[in-house]
Structure 1
């Protein structure tokens, strides 16, 4: 697999770590049937103003739950 061989050389350890985090987020989104682009765009736009005490809401699982709850409340 070409992609796997390309990831062997991330340059520096910190870059490899950041890449692993991003790949984990994308795969988690796919597993939860979330569009990774929509999730990442929303989180990146909100992360600087989001309260630190509610940071777990930005994880893919909680993001989906909060979003579904807000849709349900809007429909009522």
Structure 2
């Protein structure tokens, strides 16, 4: 039994819609994965900034013995 034109058209439309939905799903997955990766990288960057800030505060609080001026001439001692 041969397929009617209406059935062929229905199958073509169905396949087209399925292809569009599949492509849309793949694009959505790519976008969601990209958003997840960007969020992860921004979180890592924020953690690094926090660590740098904390290290800077600690360095400012600790006395640095190399900052002391030591006389180099015997008469200055």
Say whether the fold is shared (TM-score over 0.5).
no
Structure exhibiting the larger radius of gyration computed from Cα positions: 2
Greater RCO structure (CA 8 Å; 6+ sep): 1
> Normalized against structure 1, the TM-score is what?
0.30
**Larger helix share, 1 or 2:** 2
> Normalized against structure 2, the TM-score is what?
0.30
